[in-house]
Every structure is written in structure tokens, then in C-alpha cells.
């Protein structure tokens, strides 16, 4: 229908405009007492260490290195808050869960921070849980899904690094992930397949974020 196509174009344009703004790093939060007040909508990017959270944020914002990335799992060690020019909402880059090249006590502290934040942030509109398209959902991801289900936090799965596998393999992992999500009430049914490296799926993700916060 032409009408709905126009509406879709308008929403995509508005989403592009939001991401074309000059985004700034706002604050690194090493523990909950440093969280900014919950006074505006926010969305967060979660996922196993090294899945590509920080890279995806840079790709979404068209910035090379606003969020710091690394080959070594465990690069992001705090909840990093980014803010739009117009300061109307936060985007949060999270430390990874699961394996990280860091002492166990540190990893345990990040995991507690991640869980406490995901459970208790009233202004969190949607959590994007990133899954490496090569590896699919792992048991540690399931523990995060369970936590989000229990907290009734809305979450959506984003596959990352799809440039590393062939299109039929992408289709296969999408189908597998959809099936695995069926029992999870709080999960969004639509899965977004992305590559930060090749700029794939970014417009769909921008639109999703836009719709989550407006
Ligand atoms: P932590 O902060 O350690 O939890 O990691 P992260 O999830 O933020 O991952 P990060 O963005 O630092 O990326 C980890 C590695 O994956 C880096 O070497 C990136 O260059 C690489 N990477 C990220 N996204 C992509 C992608 O879409 N394609 C490919 N080929 N590599 C990617
Ligand atoms: Mg990171």
C-alpha cells in the first residue's frame, strides 16, 4: 500500500536523523551508584564478550571509535553512556558477559553490574542482546534471556558479524534463533542480522531503536 510505504519512509528518515546527530560519550559507570538519574529513555546493547557491541554502536552512529573496541574480549569494562546532541535519550554500551581476559573477581563484578542494571532500570526501553552469527545462542545467553524475562524487560536479538558466514548460513542461524526464542515471552520475535564491518542491517536496527524510544 502506498500509504504505509510513505509512513515507513518517514519513520526511516526520522531514525536516520536521530543517528546522524553528533553523539557524545556521557559517562562510564563502574557501579550502580554512578548511574545517571533515570530521567530519559535509554536502550542498551548486551552480549557475550567480543560479540561486537562497541563496534555496532560505532557503526550505528557512523563513528570510527566513539566506543572503544578490541580483539581482546573484555575491552568494555563499564556501562558506557552515550547521549544525543539534544540530550533526549541514552544509548548504553555494556561490558560483555561470559569469557573475558580479565581476573575472575573483575569479571564477577561486571556480571553483577550487568545483571543489576538490566533488572532494575525503569527507563530501559529495550535491550538488544547481540549474538555472534557464527556461534548462535550459548548457555550464558540463555541465563541473560531468563533474567530479562523475569524482569519483564523487552529485548530483541541482533546477530553480529554476518559478513563472516555465507547467506544460507545466516538464514539458518536466523531460523534457529527464532525457534529458540519462542518460549521467551519478553523477546521481540523479529531478529536483526547485522555486520558492522560491511554496514549490513544497520538501517533496520536504527529504525528499531527509533521505534523503541519514541
Ligand atoms: P567487549 O567490550 O570486550 O565485550 O567486546 P564487544 O562486544 O564490544 O566487541 P568489539 O566491538 O570490541 O569487537 C570485538 C572484535 O570483533 C573486534 O576485533 C572487531 O573488529 C570485531 N568485529 C566487530 N563487529 C564485526 C563485524 O561485523 N564483522 C567482523 N568481521 N568483525 C567484527
Ligand atoms: Mg565493548
Domain containing 65: what range?
2-51+58-213
DSSP tag of 35: P
Please name which ligand lies nearest the alpha carbon of 130: 1
202-206 contacts at long range (C-beta below 8 A, 24 or more positions apart):
202/59, 202/60, 203/12, 203/15, 203/16, 205/56, 205/60, 205/128, 205/158, 206/12, 206/15, 206/16, 206/18, 206/19, 206/60
69 lines ligand 1 (CB under 6 A): yes
Which of 70, 106, 202 is the pocket-test mutation for ligand 1 (most atoms within 8 Å of CB)? 70
What Å distances lie between residue 47 and 1, 5, 53, 84, 87, CA to CA? Answer: 37, 33, 7, 23, 25
Domain CATH code at residue 181: 3.40.50.300
What is the C-alpha separation between 81 and 205, in angstroms, rounded?
18
Q: In the predicted model, is pLDDT for residue 130 greater than 60?
A: yes
Question: Which among 81, 86, 29, 30 has a CA at the least distance from the CA of 57?
Answer: 81
At 6 the pLDDT is: 83
Please name which ligand lies nearest the alpha carbon of 110: 1
N-to-C CA span, the chain: 24
Residue 9 Cα to ligand 1 middle (Å): 30
Could you read off the pLDDT of 189-204 as tens digits, one per residue? 999 999 999 999 999 9
Q: In the predicted model, is pLDDT for residue 99 greater than 80?
A: no
51 lines ligand 1 (CB under 6 A): yes
Which triple of cell numbers denotes residue 39? 530521567
Domains identified in the chain, total number: 1
At 14 the pLDDT is: 93
Q: Which residues contact 101 (CB under 8 A, 6 or more apart)?
A: 72, 73, 74
75 lines ligand 1 (CB under 6 A): yes
165 lines ligand 1 (CB under 6 A): no
Which triple of cell numbers denotes residue 200? 549490513
161 lines ligand 1 (CB under 6 A): yes
At 176 the pLDDT is: 96
Q: Which of 27-41, 92-106, 168-182 has the lowest mean pLDDT?
A: 92-106
What is the C-alpha separation between 149 and 181, in angstroms, rounded?
11
Could you read off the pLDDT of 50-68 as tens digits, one per residue? 999 999 999 999 998 999 8
Q: In the predicted model, is pLDDT for residue 32 greater than 70?
A: yes
At 72 the pLDDT is: 84
Amino acid at each position: 500500500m502506498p500509504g504505509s510505504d510513505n509512513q515507513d519512509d518517514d519513520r526511516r528518515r526520522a531514525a536516520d536523523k536521530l543517528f546522524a546527530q553528533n553523539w557524545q560519550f556521557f559517562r562510564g559507570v563502574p557501579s550502580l551508584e554512578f548511574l545517571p538519574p533515570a530521567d530519559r529513555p535509554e536502550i542498551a546493547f548486551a552480549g557475550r564478550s567480543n560479540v561486537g557491541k562497541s563496534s555496532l554502536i560505532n557503526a550505528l552512529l557512523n563513528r570510527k571509535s566513539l566506543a572503544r573496541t578490541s580483539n581482546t574480549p573484555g575491552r568494555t569494562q563499564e556501562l558506557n553512556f552515550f547521549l544525543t546532541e539534544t540530550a533526549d535519550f541514552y544509548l548504553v554500551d555494556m561490558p560483555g558477559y561470559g569469557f573475558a581476559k580479565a581476573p575472575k573477581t573483575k569479571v564477577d563484578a561486571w556480571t553483577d553490574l550487568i545483571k543489576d542494571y538490566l533488572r532494575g532500570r525503569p527507563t530501559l526501553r529495550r535491550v538488544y542482546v547481540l549474538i555472534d552469527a557464527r556461534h548462535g545462542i550459548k548457555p550464558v545467553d540463555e541465563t541473560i534471556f531468563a533474567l530479562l524475562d523475569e524482569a519483564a524487560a523487552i529485548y530483541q536479538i541482533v546477530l553480529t558479524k554476518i559478513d563472516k558466514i555465507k547467506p544460507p548460513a545466516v538464514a539458518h542461524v536466523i531460523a534457529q534463533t527464532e525457534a529458540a526464542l519462542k518460549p521467551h515471552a519478553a523477546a521481540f520475535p523479529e531478529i536483526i542480522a547485522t555486520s558492522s564491518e560491511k554496514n549490513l542491517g544497520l538501517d533496520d536496527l536504527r529504525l528499531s531503536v527509533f521505534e523503541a524510544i519514541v
